[in-house]
Amino acid sequence: MKRLFITCVITIVVFSSAAGFCSFSQGKPGAPSASSMGSLTAKLENNLLSVDIKDVSLEEVLRKLSDQTGISFSLPPSLCNDRLMVRFANFEIDEAIDKVLGPYDRVFVYDQMENNTEEVGRLREVRIYIRGTNKNGASEKPMIISASKSSPVSDDTNGKNKPVLKTSPKENTVKSLKEWSKDLQEGDETAKINAVQGLARMGEGALGPLTSALEDANPEVSKAAESALTDLYASLEEENNLPGSDRNTQEQTIEGAPRFAIDTAGAINEGSGNQMEVDIRLSDVPEKLITSGFMIRYDPSQMNITGADVYDGSSLSGPWDSEMTNKVPNPSGPGTYMVIVGNLGSVAPDQNDTINIARLYGSCTGNCEFTIAPVPDFDTSVGNSSTVYDSKMGPTKFTFDY
């Protein structure tokens, strides 16, 4: 599905209120709500929808969208008074509605094109659901919201009234984890945000790429990744699929912890002058790892890191997944360099209990000291047992004398 440039994207916030019948359900469809405390603007132009919703009930929002688009909505009455805050501009209609309804389970119903069983026509209805049952243990009878005036969106004359159900319009764009990750690394802002949304639907396998996106130079992309990770972690914890959750708690106790090391056999591969190549690895690795990495700190007046190659098969043969690799110069200012690696299939230590991470390139003048430690505020080295080893991997200092 073609995506237009985004003017502004703000994370959706939902304020839940007590369950009850919708305020509009007994009145005129266009009547104002007595509970309305915020503001609501929706504009449809050239089949692109822009909204600015500030603390407005879900029912009011759906009525406005229905009037603008001619699309009908059904929802449980207990959701009517949920209040939303979201703002964006210039999204195609079904994608826009999908963004507004991001916090809810929903099904999109399309008209089926005549004599075409694969293509779908205009979006005609959106059905919103609650997982499970209500407090009384019975399913709620849905409330129907329909347009109170003719839709400005023309009906598809080739469409028939055969409903085609889809859980989300974005599912029309089917891409693999690798394809979404490539879009996230190489695309423009629109492609990257679209990739974040695509990855967020892929479950646990997207944790690595989404975590890498937190460091994206574009603040809109990093904010979108943060929001997606928050929702994904909450979903995985709810399903007990997140490493460290009760379901994955192992009775087995893993002894020991990895430690940072450099390759003693040619740890510094001198090129010419003060140029250096430093291989960073983990030693004494007690089990297979899902993720790892490091933050290096050094004195930029004596030492300079110009880049790194990761043992992920891209430049250096190795076990890590290149789609999960993230290299960030100066993440905490000059004198810092960060590398994050991962492989959801896990990486086993070699016969010497070591795992290579990366080779750093740079220069050193005189007596150069640098410190390697886990990435701060991030579960860096995580094992198959869900053990996070960072607290046992204190900063390690190395000194080179040129």
How confident is the model over 47-76, as pLDDT tens digits? Answer: 888 888 888 889 999 999 998 888 988 888
Contact of 16 with 50, CB cutoff 8 Å = no
If one compares 132 and 19, the residue with the highest pLDDT of the two is 132
Residues 196-222: tens digit of each pLDDT:
887 877 777 777 788 888 888 888 888
Residue 401 has pLDDT above 70, yes or no: no
Residues 359-378: tens digit of each pLDDT:
999 888 877 888 999 998 88
pLDDT value for 133 = 42
Residues 108-163: tens digit of each pLDDT:
777 765 555 555 567 888 888 775 444 343 456 778 888 765 445 544 444 444 45
Query: How large is the C-alpha radius of gyration of the chain?
Result: 26
How many angstroms separate the Cα of 40 from the Cα of each of 82, 90, 114, 150?
Answer: 14, 16, 37, 20
Residue 192 has pLDDT above 70, yes or no: yes
Residues 270-324: tens digit of each pLDDT:
445 578 888 999 999 999 998 999 999 999 998 999 999 999 999 899 999 988 8
CA proximity to 82, closest of 144, 12, 11: 12
Q: Where in the chain is the domain with CATH 2.60.40.680?
A: 259-401
CA proximity to 227, closest of 55, 50, 69, 99: 99
Contact of 223 with 11, CB cutoff 8 Å = yes
Domain boundaries 177-249, corresponding CATH code: 1.25.10.10
Domain boundaries 259-401, corresponding CATH code: 2.60.40.680
DSSP state for residue 391 in the 8-state scheme: G
Q: How confident is the model at residue 44 (pLDDT cuts 50, 70, 90)?
A: confident
Residue 398 has pLDDT above 90, yes or no: no
What pTM value is reported for the model?
Answer: 0.41
